[in-house]
Amino acid sequence: MKAKIKKLLAELNNFARGKNITAEYLLHAEKSNLIRLANSAVSLNTSEELVKLIVTSRRGRRAGTYSITTDLSAIDRMKSAIVSADEIAQSADEVNYDVTLTPMTQLPDDDVNFDDALVGMNSSEKLDFINKAVGTLETDKIKLSGIFSTGAVWEAVANTLSESVLFHSVSDGQISLELTHSELKWEIAATQSAISKSDLNPEKIQSQLSTLLNIYQNTSPEIIKTGKYDIILSGEALAELIGMMEYIGFSGGLFKRKMSCLRDEHLGKKIFDDKLTIVDDPAVRETFPSVFDYNGNQRSKFTFVENGVFKQFMWDRDSADEFNEKETGHDVSGLSTVISSGNELVSSINDIPENKELTLFIPHLHYMNIVNMTEGIITACSRFGALIFDKENKIRVPFNFRLTDNFFNIFNDIEWISNETVAVNTSNSYGMRSPAAAFVPKFIKLKNISITHVNKSF
Amino acid sequence: MNITQKIKVELANLKKKGAEYADARFYPSRETESITFLQGNLKECRSSATTGIGVRVLYNGAWGFASSSLTENLPALFGSAFENAVAASNRLSFPVKLANRKPITAEYSSPRRIDPFDISVSEKLDFLRKIDKKLEHNIVAQRISYVTSDKQKIIFIDTDGSHIEKNICDTFAGMKVIGVEKNGNSQERSYELGGDGFGTRGWEALVSGDKFPENADRIVDELSQILVAESAPKDTRSVILLPGIMFLQTHEVIGHALELDRILGYELSYAGGSFVRLEDFGKLRYGSDKLTVRADGTLPNSPGSYGYDDDGVECQDTVLIDKGILKNAITSRQTIVEANEKAGEKIFEKAGGCARASNFNRIPLERMTNINIDPGNDGSLNDIITSTESGIVLDGARSWSIGSNREQFHFANEIGWLVKDGEKGEVVKNPTYSSDTLPFWRSLSAVGDKSTAELVYVPNCGKGLPSQQMYLGHLIPVCKFDNVKTGE
């Protein structure tokens, strides 16, 4: 696949140059398989093969983009796509700023994070994994849902200003298994992210599910009161929260457009607890990293927040051009988010240290949305196994509840961060396959968070 | 042999191999075009062309699916779908059975006079440039306008002998203005292309009349008021929801809650379930007796009208909630059989024609058609305001977050107008409201007449794994709800 894609893109590049077309390309191929479970059965077993070419033709300040789903042998169709993109560019309006397009510097092929064994897993191997992970936890009333998704992405980028073809491939696996009581309607979950087959560990999933199941089966749920609480987030919930903050806080383009919760007055200032450090680090393999972005920029470690201090905005090329800034290698489908671990020796919920105040545990956030972008206010519900740790550290079960607060308060007072970390798969499956994961502490304890709504049932 | 003949051969082969049922959706062509202006700059001018085939196979009660953009090797593609079904049948709890329906040979075309793909890029740019200029104002920090067109040809063929060809064309368009308060916080006001459910929806729907210029002036004016407004109150009061937020209210906690696959637990691993149980149909008081809701796939002109679903079932007009009582759901051939068997009674008479896939590479799921609320007898918006002692009129969807079983929700809006003693008063900023689902719908105290109703297009309804974004619509009047928590 690698050789085929690189050769093809080089040929397309030659074709465009021959036509005096200035163009840049992304050639994307993917192979996916997803087993979906519901009601303790496989509800869907699906495979997909997709090849997509995206061409942008540039005529100074004018640009046109044309994309096609295609076949790697359909070279004439791809050439037509280049011509079509250029026709669009000819009709397009100029933007009112200069547009950067630079020759790509050839980088070594980025394919070290590709595991044929993971990509080649067949359905029965996946079902074996699921059966091992769930073991005997299913009953007539406790039903299994979830997904086991594996796949691979092969991508190459190039532009007509050089003969370089930069190549990236990665394999990825995402497992999420949920147990639901069909009558009582409570749900618990465990997840796993894999970049190679050896990352898969069904025993770990079973251990997580067993712990929560034991609590949920033996504890009556209760309605908590709205108000301020100390909250422990799992790595999954933390990754989702930070992902949202990256979106509304760290983008230079949004900041310049007055739509960001972080502004220039925050630069260099302490905005969060000093235990919080957030970086984008493509050296961390668990994040399915790419060593270059779609413009061919080599990516390197990039610090957003260091010990609570906001360090810098990230700049995609278009925003950097428009606002006269320097692009930072962030034209990517997903960041390699890494949050530094802490000192608290917490490996599982059994290790949670004694709490001075009644404390809520949120394993997953459901349906997060932005109530107010510039004030950084978000709202989301607890899901998949929330818990109450009372002052004696006795564990109780709450009905789900809604958290509504702003990022400045949420990360203002961090009591502790666990020493252990976990890769949380944050890929979504809209559009093209684009594996993404955050590498974050397994647990974090936050003080004084607003709970604004409580459920009276599951 | 042409490709449809080859597909028929492959489907016949699947039957020979033991498949109970199989279908294929071939997309010979799907074209999209997106143009976006941001702050006077043409930020996106993009076209795409998609081809591909999706194959669904039912074997021993289990689904297998495979799709490819490569259409050369059909035996491998159909074989892959079959193998996936065979593997899936090794973990089975309730074998899939499909409700009977007669094979259909049909064609459907969405109503349009001017194909947007016959309009040149230059003409489209002219249109948006004028809108962009109209939005330019000293209080506007950012202005955005866009047009997206999508034309799909879909050929559905199944082993029952159905052959359906659909030509569907949709155009979505909208604009938004963003302003900045003195304290640096931003506010926004937006407008999306909608309709009345009739007429045609080609390029003409966008350019006829003065919809865009008039609404451009309106949203800039309203933004200017929001930027100097006080914050919305935090209390309990009546909320009067205009179609610009009422559509989403209906979408999230009626539409999604009544998808039968969610009710049966098929979405628990992602989108969530539903508080609705099978025993609730025919009995549950979902809302006040002013509430009548229908899933109307027969509305002549809407992204939620598509002729035939991807089960090969004709679109229908189904009453979901009748005078407040839950009657029916958003259903497919698979789920009505399972629901009726699990309930031990025939709750659902026939498949509702709601199984849809967003593209060739996705499997059909229960999706909304046009989930509409029947207009009521409570007069105009003004009549509803006049009858309100303490309330707030709300419009524009800024944020929405719903409980995993659709049992509660939180919405944030772009704009609010306070109502006191029957008078519409000043504009307020940052309005929000939240509630539990059933108490909210049961507090429905007024439904506006036909003059208050608008068809709102939804281009981005997300569901399923692998994830799918679906087009649909909501024909919705103004509604009033009492004793609702606001401002949190």
Q: Which residues of B touch A372 (CB under 8 A)?
A: 185, 398-399, 412, 430
- Tens-level pLDDT at each residue, chain B (488 residues): 999 999 999 999 999 999 999 999 999 999 999 999 999 999 999 999 999 999 999 999 999 999 999 888 999 999 999 999 999 999 999 999 999 999 999 999 999 999 999 999 999 999 999 999 999 999 999 999 999 999 999 999 999 999 999 999 999 999 999 999 999 999 999 999 999 999 888 999 899 888 899 999 999 999 999 999 999 999 999 999 999 999 999 999 999 999 999 999 999 999 999 999 999 999 999 999 999 999 999 999 999 999 999 999 999 999 999 999 999 999 999 999 999 999 999 999 999 999 999 999 999 999 999 999 999 999 999 999 999 999 999 999 999 999 999 999 999 999 999 999 999 999 999 999 999 999 999 999 999 999 999 999 999 999 999 999 999 999 999 999 999 999 98
Contact B48 A66 (CB under 8 A): yes
Number of domains in chain A: 2
Domain extent for A153: 2-217
Mean pLDDT of chain B: 97
The pairing of beta strand A437-441 with beta strand A278-280: unpaired
Q: Which of A1, A43, A174 would you mutate first to test chain B, the one with the most B CBs within 10 A?
A: A43
- The string of pLDDT tens digits covering residues B122-159 is 999 999 999 999 999 999 999 999 999 999 999 999 99
Locate A205 and state its tokens: 């999933």
Q: Taking a contact as any Cβ pair under 8 Å apart, which residues of chain B between 2 and 21 contact chain A?
A: none
Decide if B57 touches A, using CB distance below 8 A. no
What is the distance in angstroms between the Cα of A250 and the nearest Cα belonging to chain B?
16
Among B89, B268, B410, whose Cβ lies nearest the Cβ of A145? B268
- Cβ of A32 under 8 Å from any chain B Cβ? yes
Res B122: pLDDT: 95
Q: Which residues of A touch B63 (CB under 8 A)?
A: 43-45
Strand partners, B413: B397
Contact A35 B94 (CB under 8 A): no
Please indicate if any CB of chain B lies within 8 Å of the CB of A48. Answer: yes
Residue B101: CB atoms within 10 Å: 16
Kindly state whether B76 is in contact with chain A, defined as any CB-CB distance less than 8 angstroms.
no
Residues of A in contact with B71 (CB under 8 A): 71
| CB contacts, 8 Å: B121 with chain A | 88, 91-92
Do A205 and A237 lie in one domain? The reply is no
Nearest CA-CA distance, residue B104 and chain A, Å = 25
A427 in Cβ contact with A334 (< 8 Å): yes
CA distances from A276 to A339, A363, A373 (A): 7, 19, 21
User: Do A48 and A159 sit in the same domain of this protein?
Assistant: yes
What distance in Å separates the CA atoms of residue A425 and residue B466, rounded to the nearest whole number?
A: 15
Quick one: A256 and A388 in the same domain?
Answer: yes
Three-state secondary-structure class, residue B282: coil
Give the C-alpha separation, A159 to A171, whole Å. Answer: 25
Report the relative pairing of strands B230-231 and B423-429 from DSSP bridges: parallel
Closest by Cβ to A38, choosing from B72, B265, B488: B265
Residues A176 and A119 in one domain: yes
Burial of B217 (0-12, 13-18, 19+ CB in 10 A): middle
Residues A225 and A159 both lie in one domain: no
Same domain as A48, residue A164: yes
Q: Indicate which of A32, A48, A182, A454 best probes the interface with B, i.e. most B CBs within 10 Å of its own CB.
A: A48
Q: Which residues of chain A have pLDDT under 50?
A: none
ipTM: 0.96
Min Cα distance B376 → chain A (Å) is 31
Question: Rounded CA gap, B426 and B97, in Å?
Answer: 57
Q: Under an 8 A CB cutoff, do B269 and A32 touch?
A: no
C-alpha distance across the termini of chain A, in Å: 48
pLDDT at residue number B488: 87
| Interface membership of B265 toward A (CB under 8 Å) | yes
Q: Given an 8 Å threshold on Cβ–Cβ distance, is A258 in contact with B399?
A: no
Nearest to B360 by CA among B66, B161, B73, B108: B66
**Beta carbons within 8 Å of B323's beta carbon, 6+ residues apart:** B289, B290, B291, B292
Q: How many angstroms separate the most distant Cα atoms in chain A? A: 75
Question: Where do the DSSP E strands lie in B39-113?
Answer: 41-59, 62-68, 105-109
> Is A320 found in the same domain as A209?
no
pLDDT for residue A431: 84
Mutate one of B3, B42, B78, B334 to test the A interface: name it (highest A CB count within 10 A).
B42
pLDDT score, position A392: 83
Spatial distance between the Cα atoms of A182 and A274, rounded to a whole number of angstroms: 44
Look at B407 and A455 and tell me if their CB atoms are within 8 Å: yes
| Burial degree of B421 (CB within 10 A; 0-12, 13-18, 19+) | exposed
Size of interface A-B (CB pairs under 8 A): 254
pLDDT at A87: 97
Q: Quick one: three-class SS letters along chain A?
A: CHHHHHHHHHHHHHHHHHCCCCEEEEEEEEEEEEEEEECCEEEEEEEEEEEEEEEEEEECCEEEEEEEECCCCCHHHHHHHHHHHHHHHHHCCCCCCCCCCCCCCCCCCECCCCCHHHHCCCHHHHHHHHHHHHCCCCCCCEEEEEEEEEEEEEEEEEECCCCCCEEEEEEEEEEEEEEEECCCCCEEEEEEEECCHHHCCHHHHHHHHHHHHHHHHCCCEECCCCEEEEEEEEHHHHHHHHHHHHHHHCEHHHHHCCCCCCCHHHCCCECCCCCCCEEECCCCHHHCCCCECCCCCECCCEEEEECCEECCCECCHHHHHHCCCCCCCCCCCCCCEEECCCCECCCCHHHCCCCCCCEEEECEEEEEEEEECCCCEEEEEEECCCEEECCCCCEEEECCEEEEEEHHHHCCCEEEEECCEEEEECCCCCCCCCCCEEEEECEEEEEEEEEEEECCCC
Other Cβ atoms within 10 Å of B311 Cβ, number: 24
Q: What whole-number distance in Å separates Cα of residue B189 and Cα of residue A110?
A: 44
A259 chain-B contacts, CB cut-off 8 A: 142, 178, 186
Q: How far is CA A292 from the centre of its chain?
A: 17
> Are A84 and A39 part of one and the same domain?
yes
Residue B432 in contact with partner chain A when CB distance is under 8 A: yes
Domain ranges of chain B: 3-228, 231-486
Same domain as A250, residue A119: no
* Residue range A228-243, pLDDT digits in tens: 999 999 999 999 999 9
Dihedral pair phi/psi, residue B377, rounded to 5°: -115, 25
Interface of A with B in 165-204 (CB under 8 A): 176, 178, 180, 182, 185, 187
CB contact B105 to A (< 8 Å):
no
B285: helix, strand or coil: strand
Closest residue in B to A84 (Cα) is B47
Q: What is the pLDDT at residue A187?
A: 97
CATH number for the domain that contains residue A144:
3.30.2290.10
* Residue of B46, B226, B338, B400 best to disrupt the A interface, most CBs of A under 10 A: B46
A410 Cβ neighbours under 8 A, 6+ residues apart: A241, A446, A449
- CB atoms near residue B265 (< 10 Å): 19
- The per-residue pLDDT for range A323-368, each reduced to its tens digit, is 999 999 999 999 999 999 999 999 999 999 999 999 999 999 999 9
Q: What residues in A contact B272, CB-CB < 8 Å?
A: 366-367, 383
Which among A44, A84, A124 has the least Cβ separation from residue B363?
Answer: A44
Distance CA(A178)–CA(A212), nearest Å, equals: 11
Q: Hey, are the CB atoms on B186 and A373 less than 8 Å from each other? A: yes
In order, the DSSP letters of B94-135 are: S----------EEEEE---SS-GGGS-HHHHHHHHHHHHHHH
For residue A261, the chain B residue with the least C-alpha distance is B185
Task: Place domain B3-228 in its CATH homologous superfamily.
Answer: PmbA/TldD superfamily (3.30.2290.10)
DSSP-derived 3-state class of residue B387: coil
